[in-house]
Chains A and B, each alone.
Chain A
Amino acid sequence: MSSSDLGNFISRVTDQYSRDPLQLINVLREVQDRYSHVPSEAMPQVAAALGVSLGRVQGVVEYYSFFHTSPRGQYEILLSDSITDHMLGKQPLMDYLCERLGVSVGETRADGRVSVGNASCTGMCDQGPAGLVNGYTVTRLNKERVDEMVELIDAGKPLSEWPAAYFQVEDNIRREDALLGTALEDGAALRAVLDRGEEAVLGEIVRSGLRGLGGAGFKTGIKWSLCRETHSTERYVVCNADEGEPGTFKDRVLLNRDADRVFEGMTLCARVIGAQRGYLYLRSEYRYMLEALETVLQRRRAAELLGENILGVPGFSFDIEIHLGAGAYMCGEESALIESLEGKRGVARVRPPFPVTHGFVNKPTVVNNVETFVCAALIAERGGDWFAAMGTEQSKGTKLLSVSGDCARPGIYEYPFGVTMRQVLADCGADNALAVQVAGAAGHCFPESEFDRRIAYEDVATGGSFMVFNRDRDMLDMARNFAHFFAYESCGFCTPCRVGTSLMKNLMDKVYAGHGTEADLEEMRNLGSVMQETSQCGLGSTAPNAILDTLDKFSDVYQRRLKSTAFEPAFDLDGALEEARQLTGREDSAAHL
């Protein structure tokens, strides 16, 4: 890489993005793609071209997982570290991959050919172990496939010449209900709003009882109304497709199978609230879908369903841009997502004000989940009563569940709200279930005694993640995996989450290694309570959930690892001698305490 080459490249890329500071993340992605890292000498140039500070560029580069400050290999292989990938054999596969490639996790091979690392859940829990090769999803990995990949890497074959089967992603739809089973003609929802008027369609959305299906459950009709009522000439529609909650993959399936209906829902929202511009915030792990989604957008523009004067109606103008994330679970939180859309570190904003009044570029913005937009489009055509007839008192309609873990048929299951966990377990072929973790790492853990509880906002709320653990599993593996996940994904803004998640991770490791005592468990409970009560956003306040749940409901997995003493110092005397043992090459008993 010559400095003039770098300079020319940055100049070209920043021009391509109109030197718009909001495009910082997109610019950095191009640099990362070309140089396998963001060279330190590139940062001042990017900063100057976009008119932002160097600190801002550095802050963004060091925030997102998929930007690196040192070169990665020509091939970068990341394996999904989700607990469900582990249950499908991720760790032995990782060990084998590293052995075959002659590289260790987190490192780049000396010849610069390949690097290997971990990624947070890649959203392929129904077809793992999965991973990313140079950002593109690979599924159903096994030893044979690793052997083949190693050969392709050694031969230097470009990714485009790798077998397509590696990159095959299945929808695995196992149960359809109203959302997946109801057809919607392209443009039908838009014609409905044009025929009946925005007020009437908004009324249907309100009447339907539709609530945010990302999991938070805020009423969509209220959200849209609040945004519509703002005094602004500029409003935005944002679709949250940053599906990062471990064990969730239903938005992946909707975007693959139903992108038209997602975009239709967004366009409908734009008409109702009066927006001209929309963004689909697509998590980087779903980059493999980008081209297909762009094609759908193009087709919709050609069909007058997007762009200027939609369906020939003067002044009905709206277009959608797809914005790729860069590896940060935090960006699933709507205000952090907006920060990221603006080319910043994905840190949650102080709320209030909420995005409906102060969102993207401080303008009124509706942020909804992928599934919510699809439902809205259906409701516009079918009416609110149709939707409200399904589900429970406080949870209308249906819910897509992403079922993974120990079951015969992992995949997407759509049920009317109110379905019991026991029913889901029976349908997916989980006949030996010990526990279900609902709503991902941030969610809650339920033992067999609670399987009759219902999936609904008034009982067990979920964005869709439904992970099954059978009786051969150790629930501490799950809790520890989540503890590591949150320590890695904490944005670092507020004290309880930044420090608490790392303290929790260390305590978990101590217990896991057999050094824990009753005092450590009490410490975890206390830490969990502070995190729940004082964190700035949902990441910190939900991070201890799985640990507190398992401490409560599966206390035996902790107890059987405890030392009998009431207190065990954090300082490990024998461990402290490890360096000396390595230096002297001794492993005999006299070298141990």
Chain B
Amino acid sequence: MELQLQYYLLLAAALFCIGIYGLITSRNAIRVLMSIELLLNAVNLNLMAFSNYLDEAAKGQVFSVFVITIAAAEAAVGLAIVLAIYRNRDTIDMERFNLLKW
């Protein structure tokens, strides 16, 4: 009974599915961004598990560091966009962000 690769992959899959559920169903724009962070963390967990069990060169850790970097940039720009939309429309309801719908 040893820790196996499959456990980590199953946990990452569960986290990814929870993130997708939150991404689609939540109406608060900030909660959508939090769900995206959950998705990125699930992918990171996958990369780290593969790096530990299948690779000796630790390239998966390099990839996950890049993913963390991109996630920081994405969070900053996404929250700035949410703030700008909130100033324009005075709401954070995703259902009312329909400027591009015709």
The yes or no verdict on A and B being binding partners is no
Binding site for A on B (CB under 8 A): none
